[in-house]
Amino acid sequence: MDLSLSAEQKLIQETAGRIAAEVLAPRAAELDNTYSFPTENLKKLAEAGMLGMLIPPPFGRGGASTLSFTLATEELAKACGSTALSFVTHVSAAQGILIAGTSEQRAKYLPALAKGEKLGAFAVTEPNSGANPMALEAFAESRPDHYLLNGSKAFITNAGEAAVNLVMAKTDRAPGPQSLSLFIVDSDLPGVSFGKTVRRMGFNGVSCREIIFQDVKVPRENLLGQPGMAVPLTMGIGALAALGAAAISVGLAQAALAASTTYAKERKILGQPIGANQAIQFYITEMSTAIDAARALLQSAVYLRDTSPPGPPIPALKAKLFASEMAVDVTNRALQIHGGTGYTKELPVERYYRDARGVTLHFSTTELIKDLLGKIALGLFP
């Protein structure tokens, strides 16, 4: 596995880092404190071609590598976790249409998604099922010229801001994965409405809302893939989202480490920088090592995604699992290094911790990932 970056990958990383430093970082605290959606940030990313970076011609100007996507995501997360989360969600939704859409669906939706004229969302989680797709209640009844969709989705990233939603719903009353299908649902369809923005512990700059479907007539041509194929399709979409989540975690942890290193050098007690204390040195070493390990696992998962045959995204899920838990630990240690000052909103460290904690719940929870990986390892997954 070659870990060296191509000229294009370096350029994308540098471009994302520049936008993050010049545009995202100065606005991050305000977005978090005011629960404001990062509209202007996403516009800047669209202007730089980032929102369509994985969409190749003729639908977009991208076609970048998966590694370029994770490199860009890490840079964005260092500055603003909320923008990075919205970005990953959008790119993942667009990827779903790219890999499973018909030529008509691709032509209709991908150009606008690539340009950032429309934003994407991915809706699976429900109030009574959590993120477990086997417990979904939303139902799309097959009619001659449409599907009649009823139900609701909860905690949906980009909801209300996105014009294009990938929605998982049951199309068969029988239990099992074969009853689940995936649809492209436009937000302006009659019967689609949104709940109020949920105020959460972290990722406060992201629109997180309920989506309500009441007798929504979804055109039959908006079925993504074949009926009953939502689970295997979601595996492909979820692999990219999991890699993005891992990259967000690495970015948040890296930002926390950088802040801690600077603080340990500058903060003095009795005339000595606190970094002279062995306890702080141990923390910095452990944090740095954990970040390097997570980044290496992420890069390995990216390589395997691009070179392995289709199947359960085991490496991506492992990368997301390890990186998200790592980020919680690293940002928690960063808080300890900063002491009482780190616990205030005067510094971004407490925001890094709150956002890092949220990644363990996004794009499938830690426990659901462990359950799935365990079943696969034991031969219990169909």
Let me know whether 169 and 224 are in one domain: yes
The residues, ordered by sequence, that sit 6+ positions from 151 with a Cβ below 8 Å of its Cβ are 126, 136, 137, 138, 139, 169, 213
Within a domain: 2: no
Within a domain: 336: yes
CB 117 within 8 A of CB 250: no
- Blockwise average pLDDT, block size 10, the chain, 382 residues: 86 97 97 96 96 93 91 98 98 95 97 96 92 88 96 96 97 90 98 93 96 97 94 90 98 98 96 96 98 98 87 93 98 97 95 98 93 93 74
Tokens coding 264: 């340990």
Rounded to whole angstroms, the Cα distance separating 317 from 350 reads 26
Within a domain: 30: yes
Let me know whether 108 and 144 are in one domain: no
Which of 63, 91, 118 marks a domain boundary? 118
pLDDT, residue 154, reads: 95
Let me know whether 112 and 187 are in one domain: no
Q: Which of 68, 108, 57 is nearest to 91 (CA)?
A: 68
Let me know whether 251 and 144 are in one domain: no
Within a domain: 1: no
The residue with tokens 């939603």 is 165
Within a domain: 50: yes
CA distances from 206 to 86, 262, 358 (A): 6, 29, 12
Which of 201, 230, 259 marks a domain boundary? 230
Within a domain: 382: no
Let me know whether 309 and 350 are in one domain: yes
Let me know whether 77 and 147 are in one domain: no
CATH number of the domain to which 373 belongs:
1.20.140.10
Total domains in the fold of the chain: 3
pLDDT, residue 312, reads: 83
Let me know whether 303 and 169 are in one domain: no
Rounded to whole angstroms, the Cα distance separating 361 from 350 reads 18
Within a domain: 292: yes
pLDDT, residue 262, reads: 98
CA distances from 351 to 4, 191, 323 (A): 32, 36, 17
Let me know whether 350 and 244 are in one domain: yes
Rounded to whole angstroms, the Cα distance separating 290 from 323 reads 9
Let me know whether 292 and 221 are in one domain: no
Let me know whether 130 and 78 are in one domain: no
The residues, ordered by sequence, that sit 6+ positions from 225 with a Cβ below 8 Å of its Cβ are 100, 181, 182, 233
CATH number of the domain to which 84 belongs:
1.10.540.10
Range of the domain at 43: 7-118
Let me know whether 181 and 95 are in one domain: no
Rounded to whole angstroms, the Cα distance separating 295 from 348 reads 22
Model-level pTM? 0.96
Which of 69, 100, 118 marks a domain boundary? 118
pLDDT, residue 60, reads: 86
Let me know whether 113 and 129 are in one domain: no
pLDDT, residue 206, reads: 95
The residues, ordered by sequence, that sit 6+ positions from 37 with a Cβ below 8 Å of its Cβ are 31, 86, 161, 205, 206, 207
Within a domain: 206: yes
CATH number of the domain to which 213 belongs:
2.40.110.10
